[in-house]
């Protein structure tokens, strides 16, 4: 399908899932706004490289997703927003009674509250354009839980609930809101964890992937950033016009257990 003429804003998109989603949207013809909290030469160079590769307009806009005013300013600075992908997120692991308060606050702010601010700012723009797609990158942890991830699980469950509410509020309009729920995705960050896991568990690469990292993922295969992006592109298609307020799990069967 072609998304030519559409503008997609993807938060947290200078690496990992966000970058994978941005690439697939750009490949489909959408103009892109990349985002993260940094403002490095390589961030702007990445935008230039994607623009050259896909023949679309690509901008990089710095915005700290832990700050509501910057979330809203991102939409304003972009100037257009047909597709909003709320992807920015961080993680911290600790028991509830030992969970640092500042980590809880940061995870809720970046993983959940930022989506409220960006969506609130984007909906009037979408309504003026007469079309829109809000895609929230949740997680298998938006549908189930794991110990020691209280803030992340709470935020991702919140994103799923927020998705449903936005979908109901826009149900009579040509705007949809859905959540993608990835399982374990092979990103550079995850790839970098494999050697440490091999050492800690005294296992080879394949064994540590299957028995440790993908313990809860029945397919025993990582999902890919390209699959996340392909799912986002589908949700932007006419075939998905009546898909709203739901979750699409890309988790190798994790939430089927």
3-state secondary structure of 195: helix
Distance CA 17, CA 24 (A): 11
H/E stretch holding 134 reads strand 132-137
3-state secondary structure of 5: coil
Within 13 Å and on the Cβ side, how many CA atoms surround 93?
A: 3
Distance CA 109, CA 246 (A): 23
Distance CA 216, CA 218 (A): 6
Exposure b/e, 115-130, CB count within 10 A at least 16 = b: bbbbbebbbebbeeee
- The residue assigned the tokens 């797609």 is 133
Count of Cβ atoms closer than 10 Å to residue 91 Cβ: 14
The active-site residue out of 60, 152, 162, 222 is: 152
Which residue from 139, 118, 151, 107 is spatially nearest to 247, judged by alpha carbons?
139
Q: What is the DSSP string of 223-246?
A: B-HHHHHHHHHHHTSGGGTT--S-
152 part of the active site: yes
Q: What is the DSSP string of 141-183?
A: GGTS--TT-HHHHHHHHHHHHHHHHHHHHTTTTTEEEEEEEE-
Provide the annotated active-site residues: 152
């Amino acid at each position: 399908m072609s998304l030519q003429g559409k503008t997609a804003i993807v938060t947290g998109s200078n690496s990992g899932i966000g970058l994978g989603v941005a690439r697939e949207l750009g490949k489909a013809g959408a103009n892109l706004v990349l985002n993260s909290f940094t403002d490095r030469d390589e961030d702007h160079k990445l935008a230039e490289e994607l623009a050259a590769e896909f023949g679309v307009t690509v901008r990089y806009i710095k915005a700290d997703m832990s700050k509501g005013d910057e979330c809203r300013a991102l939409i304003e600075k972009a100037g257009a927003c047909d597709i909003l992908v709320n992807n920015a997120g961080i993680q911290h692991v600790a028991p509830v009674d030992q969970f640092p308060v500042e980590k809880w606050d940061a995870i809720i702010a970046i993983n959940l509250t930022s989506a409220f601010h960006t969506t609130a700012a984007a909906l009037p723009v979408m309504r003026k354009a007469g079309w829109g797609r809000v895609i929230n990158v949740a997680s298998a942890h938006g549908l189930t839980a794991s110990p020691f991830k209280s803030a992340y699980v709470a935020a991702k469950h919140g994103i799923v609930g927020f998705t449903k509410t936005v979908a109901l509020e826009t149900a009579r309009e040509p705007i949809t809101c859905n959540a993608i729920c990835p399982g374990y995705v092979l990103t550079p960050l995850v790839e970098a964890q494999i050697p440490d896991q091999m050492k800690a568990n005294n296992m080879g690469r394949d064994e540590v992937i299957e028995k440790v990292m993908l313990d809860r993922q029945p397919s025993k295969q990582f999902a890919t950033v390209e699959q996340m992006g392909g799912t986002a592109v589908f949700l932007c298609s006419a075939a998905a016009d009546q898909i709203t307020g739901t979750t699409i799990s890309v988790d190798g069967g994790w939430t089927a257990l």
